[in-house]
Structure 1
């Protein structure tokens, strides 16, 4: 099935995609907005089903007014026809000026002149012995269940990792009545304090984080070392860890949530031909753009899929990308000066977050051989190291020979950790190993979706 072409397609209806669509619509351009969610809002402002009883204040806390305002802006634009909203739809592939999209009606091909990718971020996960067990979730998945359905996965919960999301999810679970036994942060407290000058670029947010941390009380432990997740046939039974003083600790639980801040969702940017650079601060490969989000050849990036700047940063980046798009189309574009200044301040704060809550590279490099690294394919740290020994230390070669990153998640769970292990085995830096390249389809799709039913879809077959 083929869809009509559009001058601009926006992928993602989170804060970045909503502001990009709003800016385009205000200039008289009717964008197509493709989003996997049923309702616009993205992950940070994810909305529950209609009729859900929990209030925005309960779901979003201090950000409730921002969430409600964004929802209202997008809903009004979609209802008036100024935006062509395609919900519950996933972009599987792109090429030759068209997107292959899987939606409620099946696969369609949507041609575009210009493309704004506002694909957001995913959990940044690090392997821990036992993490492949049922009952171990990412912090993002834990939050989705709470926001979208009001559910918690366990009766006694341990959250582990580092970054603002760790504290936020813990507080949200406690407010929902969940039993959070421990919040285990691998970032040393001294490192967090040292980052305060950068974090004070947004003093309100910094103080809010301190207040949330205080609400956790004795549940919160900084500078810990994770040893393993103990499991039985049904799932986790405890987390074994060392505290900052080196003492052996063990916390009983029946559910574990893991996450080390976020990683940019860049698979579509990769397929669109964007260039990438390794960012030492974020310990991940990020797309290369100008300050407005231009990535070349009519492609623009915005939001956490470009830089992890949070919801406010995503809104700013969405407006900037749309302004760049309008200017390149020869249409009047809003003045970007104020947003560019705001972006600089948000970037300082975001880098403070990265410095305060570092990626646990050394923990990953020291993983025991029997630790599963790639949950989809069951590849262990030992098997990956052996692959490096006979295949060399290049990420995609290790992938092709050892299958790390070849599973259902397309490396979203394991690619960063895999690169650390490859680099450690080769005695080099993660930037020297390269990155696992994105491949289509970027989401799992039934074979039926690719069958040509005579509808003339570009790229079908």
Structure 2
């Protein structure tokens, strides 16, 4: 009998550990990944010609990053690794992917599919956020890690969550001037949830270190902040914000990095036919899976932050566990004690994820105060006022109907950056519960793909 066909989407922490597990059990999985090298976003590798030490790129996570890279490199020849390959749709038990270097879409039928699609920045717009020089925190970090450059100098970092302080620390450590760190979470909120932060003490201590280091090096840190607007015409020149005392302030800068934590990338799980459920604390619809990562679609398994945001360490556990579940379903003998250990680890990760949402809550209340002219969907130029009108003038209270009538989420990002906020705008305008607007359904292609014109064959048979 032929060996089962295994496909893994993503070569980050979850995808790497899944591939490693399949290889350890004698299988040769196909690993499809958009990046030129493994590592995912959190452990993104610098170009091969760069020579910065791992400590300079990953900080405290250098050891984990190097271990993950080494684990993937050790699989060379034992996996079918397809880097720079975009998975653009799934249907009928087949993954369809397009090589970045050109060529026709390729089909990868599977008996077991592990979706390790990761996460992206969570965005709440503010006036001027589309001005040149305003980036997400993830984009700011990628520029520093992968390209060895800062997004500007001086830079203001805005938002909430562990990534805010990590990116600010990395920039300051690299020599960039950080004009200010503006945290939208108040000190009182953090203090009230301090006990929950101790669920993962190592992460808590890292955060304390970053905060202390920034303060000791003269970086201004303000808590309980509300962004007002980014100023500048050709490019950003300053960020205007209100402090916890209600006073309006202006900080000059040449760039802004902002974000409110992460959201799961769920489009492929949607196209695979997975059921979704609403998660109250994150206000996101997420694909359903059991404790081992099995979705309700036969042969489809979910792992890492693409299933639920829990961080890189727990993503590694999820990748291994999903692979073991797939192997078990394929009739292979798997180590049950190891599976039980991984389940316990992921349960801790779930508690940690909920704790982070409590300590660093996404400021959903900002949405109600957004001026109507604020751009909501930058791909299509749809404003907050347009979204509100979709409810009051077009009776479009559900987000897919609003998309059809106003073009919210119809652009190249497919609603990754506007979808969650748009749903909040619709629900608030309708006076409904946060989940009432539902979610944007995944559509193929999940990211833009080129249309290739097929030349007619010549008389000799050539193209």
Residue aligning to 2:249:
249
Residue aligning to 2:81:
85
Secondary structure, counterpart of 2:170 in structure 1:
helix
Residue aligning to 1:402:
406
**Conserved in 1, the CA contact under 8 Å of 2:3 and 2:27?**
no
**Conserved in 1, the CA contact under 8 Å of 2:22 and 2:323?**
yes
Instruction: Render the CA deviation track for 1:235-266: whole Å, top value 9, x for unaligned.
Output: 11111111111121110111111100000000
Instruction: Render the CA deviation track for 1:399-458: whole Å, top value 9, x for unaligned.
Output: 110001000111011001101110110001221110011100011111118x6999xxxx
What is the CA–CA distance in structure 2 between the aligned matches of 1:337 and 1:172, rounded to whole Å? 36
Instruction: Render the CA deviation track for 1:182-236: whole Å, top value 9, x for unaligned.
Output: 111111111112222222111121011011012221421111111111121x211
Matches within 5 A, 1:232-243: 232=233, 234-243=234-243
Instruction: Render the CA deviation track for 1:144-173: whole Å, top value 9, x for unaligned.
Output: 111111011212111111111111110011
What is the CA–CA distance in structure 2 between the aligned matches of 1:20 and 1:144, rounded to whole Å? 24
Q: Which of 422, 426, 435 in structure 2 is aligned with 1:422?
A: 426
Secondary structure, counterpart of 1:359 in structure 2:
coil
Residue aligning to 2:258:
258
**Conserved in 2, the CA contact under 8 Å of 1:199 and 1:348?**
no
Residue aligning to 1:457:
none
> What number of residue pairs does the alignment pair up?
447
1:325 and 2:346 aligned: no
**Conserved in 1, the CA contact under 8 Å of 2:187 and 2:224?**
yes
What is the CA–CA distance in structure 2 between the aligned matches of 1:421 and 1:166, rounded to whole Å? 25
Counterparts in 2 of 1:333 and 1:285: CA distance versus 1, 3 Å? same
Q: Which of 442, 445, 448 in structure 1 is aligned with 2:446?
A: 442
What is the CA–CA distance in structure 2 between the aligned matches of 1:294 and 1:26, rounded to whole Å? 20
**Conserved in 2, the CA contact under 8 Å of 1:5 and 1:110?**
no
Gaps of 5+ in 2: 458-463
Matches within 5 A, 1:204-283: 204-217=202-215, 218-232=219-233, 234-283=234-283
Superposition deviation, residue 391 in structure 1: 2.7
**Conserved in 2, the CA contact under 8 Å of 1:196 and 1:352?**
no
Give the 4+ runs in structure 1 shifted more than 3 A: 451-454
Residue aligning to 2:345:
342
**Conserved in 1, the CA contact under 8 Å of 2:127 and 2:228?**
yes
What is the CA–CA distance in structure 2 between the aligned matches of 1:228 and 1:356, rounded to whole Å? 25
Residue aligning to 2:460:
none
Superposition deviation, residue 105 in structure 1: 4.4
Residue aligning to 1:314:
315
Residue aligning to 1:23:
21
Residue aligning to 1:100:
96
Residue aligning to 1:459:
none
Counterparts in 2 of 1:243 and 1:268: CA distance versus 1, 3 Å? same
Residue aligning to 2:396:
392
Q: Which of 153, 176, 179 in structure 2 is aligned with 1:178?
A: 176
Superposition deviation, residue 124 in structure 1: 0.4
What is the CA–CA distance in structure 1 between the aligned matches of 2:115 and 2:157, rounded to whole Å? 31
Instruction: Render the CA deviation track for 1:299-353: whole Å, top value 9, x for unaligned.
Output: 0000000111100010000011001000000011233011111111122112111
What is the CA–CA distance in structure 1 between the aligned matches of 2:408 and 2:37, rounded to whole Å? 34
Superposition deviation, residue 6 in structure 1: 6.4
Stretch deviating more after TM superposition (102-111 or 367-376): 102-111
Residue aligning to 2:153:
155
TM-score in terms of structure 1 length: 0.94
Superposition deviation, residue 392 in structure 1: 2.6
Residue aligning to 1:123:
121
TM-score in terms of structure 2 length: 0.94
Q: Which of 368, 373, 382 in structure 2 is aligned with 1:370?
A: 373
What is the CA–CA distance in structure 1 between the aligned matches of 2:143 and 2:294, rounded to whole Å? 34
What is the CA–CA distance in structure 2 between the aligned matches of 1:298 and 1:38, rounded to whole Å? 27
**Conserved in 2, the CA contact under 8 Å of 1:6 and 1:111?**
no
**Conserved in 2, the CA contact under 8 Å of 1:161 and 1:184?**
yes
What is the CA–CA distance in structure 1 between the aligned matches of 2:22 and 2:335, rounded to whole Å? 10
Secondary structure, counterpart of 1:391 in structure 2:
coil
**Conserved in 2, the CA contact under 8 Å of 1:183 and 1:221?**
yes
Q: Which has the higher contact order (CA 8 A, sep 6+)?
A: 1
